[in-house]
Amino acid sequence: MGSSIVVLLVTIGGCAQYVKEEKKAGATQTHVSLKDADKKEIAMELVSSAENSSLKWRDQYAYIEDIKDGRGYTAGIIGFCSGTGDMLTLVQTYTKAEADNVLAKFLPALEKVNGSESHEGLGAEFEQAWQEAAKDPLFQKAQDEIRDTIYFEPAVEQAEKDGLSPLGQFIYYDAMVMHGPGDGSVPLEESFPGIRESALKQAKAPAEGGEEQVFLTSFLTERGKVMELEEAHEDLSRVVAQRQFLKENNLNLTPPLKWTMYGEFFEITQ
């Protein structure tokens, strides 16, 4: 049997680095993905530090407020918005699972305010109903499902196609959460697909023969430009933290991870 060069991940000083090791043909290759349970947990905690100022993302199902970013209500584990359509999709999904729920009566209002910052037909009663629904495991499951189907899975799958490491996969996911999947809720050039296309004009993705560090630096630069277009997103803490992990060469998102988000320090130790 022949031999082949495979890429493995080793941890040196807390940071994952790529090394090449010669293996006999037919040997199992190590593959690390953000879909792995431990890596996905880290991704959820990183996003929660930005969306909710807490690593305890499972405590955020009941979260709801208007953060004055022009998207109406922001709520739940990743910031579903009444003005961008994903909150409507979430409540529709929940209602399919449990027709007699406290949020179902707000579906007409959610349809009406979609695409705007309006609270018409919602207000305090809706906020209270959201917090009540958050106690229901079926509503929690619906939030997890919409997060995964609209944001997490498409982002990771695109990143894997582009040849990106777990860090790159997370960078895509976090951008998808903030900027949307290109569904028309924001201008295409300001959405995740638009940011990615802008980055590809500046650097090749690893799958096309490019260097991952160079490509991700380009992606974060293009994302930063989009964030600065909105007053609510002009704090670039998310991009700064991701640049830090990239500078540390922690491509595998190996703990300990330390970062600052909107002036607050966070750490994942394991």
Asked whether 147 and 89 are in contact (CB, 8 A), the reply is no
CB–CB of 162/154 below 8 Å? no
**Is 51 annotated as catalytic?**
yes
Burial (Cβ within 10 Å: 0-12, 13-18, ≥19) of residue 9:
middle
Residue 91 burial by Cβ neighbours in a 10 Å radius (0-12, 13-18, 19+) = buried
Which residues, 6 or more positions from 255, have their beta carbon under 8 angstroms from its beta carbon?
Answer: 14, 42, 268, 269, 270
State how far the Cα of 6 lies from the Cα of 157, in Å rounded to an integer. 21
Catalytic residue among 21, 36, 51, 234: 51
For residue 69, indicate whether it is catalytic: yes
Cβ atoms of 4 and 241 within 8 Å: the answer is no
| CA dist., res. 116 & res. 110, Å (int) | 10
For 13-51, where are the E strands, in sequence order? 15-24
**DSSP one-letter code for 269:** -
Q: How far is residue 9's CA from residue 24's CA, in Å, rounded to a whole number? A: 17
Residues 45, 69, 136, 230: which is the catalytic one? 69
Q: Which residues are catalytic?
A: 51, 69
